[in-house]
Amino acid sequence: MAGLTAAQKQQYEEQGFVVFERLFEPEELQPVIAELDESVDRLARKYHAEGRITSLCEGAGFATRFLELCRQNEAMYNELTGSQQIGPATFDLLKHPKLVDIAEDIVGPEVHCQGRYRFRPKLPGKSAADFRWHEDTLYQAKRAFYMEQQHGLGADDPRRSGNVISRMYLAATMPEPGFWIPLVDVGPENGCLQLLPGSHRHAPPWEEQADPSKSATQLEGLVPVPVPLSVGGAILIHQQCTHASPPNLSDHIRWSVDIRYQDGRRPVKSAREPGFLARSRQRPGEVVTTLDGYLRIREAAAAYVRTPGIRL
Ligand SMILES: O=C(O)CCC(=O)C(=O)O
């Protein structure tokens, strides 16, 4: 088992994130990229057959084709983001031993892969994947405003796209390490992540998180860093580490996927997007090892959500 070195564990605890310049060999991610490419192609053919686009843009590559297609019909965008995208290669990535080993070092031996993984085709000129400063499981409006005042991308910042998404949740008190994995090389120009080292250590106690008068000053003196990465790299992020995703100013798509894990003994976050037990000592027979097994869980959850009278 590889997992985290002692130095990486310490970095995670102190900084709230660890950058892996090369967690994967780039070839290891190629099946995921090929699977996405196939989905783009399938979607393009469907829209074309329905007369909703005029060109299949077959000459364009992974980094531009979906952009050219969305320029013909914006509705396409929402059909390919988030956890809708699933296939053998995606499932293999979700349960990849390199990710699960690291997650196990943080959440313990019962590792649940959350179903809220997100493929993000961050398109130039489209704000759907631009995020203001936020933590993944922390409600603290004041922290977001503080970051915007100190470090930009607030409402008056010309670099901010009109319609940034604001993500603020009440945090559960459990570790939820996330991986952010680029599928093209990323840098400040195409909207790589910016993280605020050490910010997770100043998360207010759970009972105080909904109180916006608390704790923003604790971020004083912390300086955000952009994290450029090549394909094969990944960032491990503590769920309370403040981060932002500024607009993509390049001429191509910034494809990425982010995946989160938690202790398999704790309640799961979303019944609409079920995850699966990826590793277990207590319940080895319940570990989901095949895509079919995971699809059955997703279908059962979808059927449950459709049950008359069920409201989630
Ligand atoms: O992919 C991005 O640009 C932003 C993702 C993000 O902020 C998140 O997953 O919390």
Kindly tell me the burial class for residue 220, based on how many C-beta atoms sit within 10 Å of its own C-beta (0-12, 13-18, 19 or more): exposed
- Distance, in Å, from the CA atom of 202 to the CA atom of 207, rounded to the nearest integer, reads 14
- How distant is the alpha carbon of residue 288 from its chain centre? 21
The average pLDDT across 246-253 equals 96
Cβ 69 vs Cβ 76: under 8 Å: yes
- Distance, in Å, from the CA atom of 56 to the CA atom of 67, rounded to the nearest integer, reads 12
- Distance, in Å, from the CA atom of 66 to the CA atom of 121, rounded to the nearest integer, reads 8
- Distance, in Å, from the CA atom of 208 to the CA atom of 174, rounded to the nearest integer, reads 16
Summarised one tens digit per residue, pLDDT across range 13-58 is 999 999 999 999 999 999 999 999 999 999 999 999 999 999 999 9
Given this structure, which CATH class describes domain 16-305? Answer: mainly beta
Summarised one tens digit per residue, pLDDT across range 212-223 is 555 556 778 889
Ligand 1 pocket test, candidate residues 238, 243, 261, 269, most atoms within 8 A of CB: 243
The response to whether residue 259 sits with its C-beta less than 6 Å from ligand 1 reads no
Torsion of Cα atoms, 239 then 194 then 165 then 297, to 10°: -40
| The pLDDT of residue 310 | 65
The number of beta carbons lying within 10 Å of the beta carbon of residue 302 is: 12
pLDDT at 146 over 90: no
Ligand 1 pocket test, candidate residues 135, 153, 258, most atoms within 8 A of CB: 258
The average pLDDT across 178-182 equals 98
The response to whether residue 190 sits with its C-beta less than 6 Å from ligand 1 reads no
Largest CA distance in the chain: 56
User: pLDDT confidence of 171, banded at 50, 70, 90?
Assistant: very low
Q: What are phi and psi of 185, to 5 degrees?
A: -65, 140
Q: Which of 127, 139, 192, 135 lies closest to 164, judged by CA?
A: 127
Least confident of 122-131, 136-145, 196-205, 270-279: 136-145
| The pLDDT of residue 181 | 98
The response to whether residue 131 sits with its C-beta less than 6 Å from ligand 1 reads yes
pLDDT at 224 over 90: yes
Mean of per-residue pLDDT scores for the chain: 88
Q: How far is the CA of 129 from the centre of ligand 1 (A)?
A: 7
The number of beta carbons lying within 10 Å of the beta carbon of residue 197 is: 17
The average pLDDT across 116-125 equals 94
> Crossing angle of helices 26-49/65-72, nearest 10°?
20
The number of beta carbons lying within 10 Å of the beta carbon of residue 159 is: 10
Least confident of 103-107, 118-122, 147-151, 162-166: 162-166
- Identify which has the larger pLDDT, 255 or 129: 255
The response to whether residue 91 sits with its C-beta less than 6 Å from ligand 1 reads no
Here the tokens at position 170 are: 């009440």
pLDDT at 166 over 50: no
Domain boundaries, the chain: 16-305
- Distance, in Å, from the CA atom of 155 to the CA atom of 164, rounded to the nearest integer, reads 9
Ligand 1 atom showing the smallest separation from residue 136 Cα: 10
| The pLDDT of residue 145 | 67
- How distant is the alpha carbon of residue 280 from its chain centre? 24
Cβ 97 vs Cβ 113: under 8 Å: no
- Tell me the pTM: 0.88
Query: What is the DSSP secondary structure assignment for residue 121, as one 8-state letter?
Result: E
Residue % of the chain over a pLDDT of 90: 66
Q: How far is the CA of 304 from the centre of ligand 1 (A)?
A: 29
The response to whether residue 254 sits with its C-beta less than 6 Å from ligand 1 reads no
Summarised one tens digit per residue, pLDDT across range 258-267 is 999 999 988 7
Q: How far is the CA of 312 from the centre of ligand 1 (A)?
A: 24
Here the tokens at position 11 are: 């970095």
| The pLDDT of residue 207 | 63
Ligand 1 atom showing the smallest separation from residue 243 Cα: 7
Q: How far is the CA of 84 from the centre of ligand 1 (A)?
A: 17
Handedness of CA 143, 144, 149, 152 (dihedral sign): positive
Q: Which of 288, 237, 243 lies closest to 258, judged by CA?
A: 237
Q: How far is the CA of 284 from the centre of ligand 1 (A)?
A: 32
Q: How far is the CA of 145 from the centre of ligand 1 (A)?
A: 18
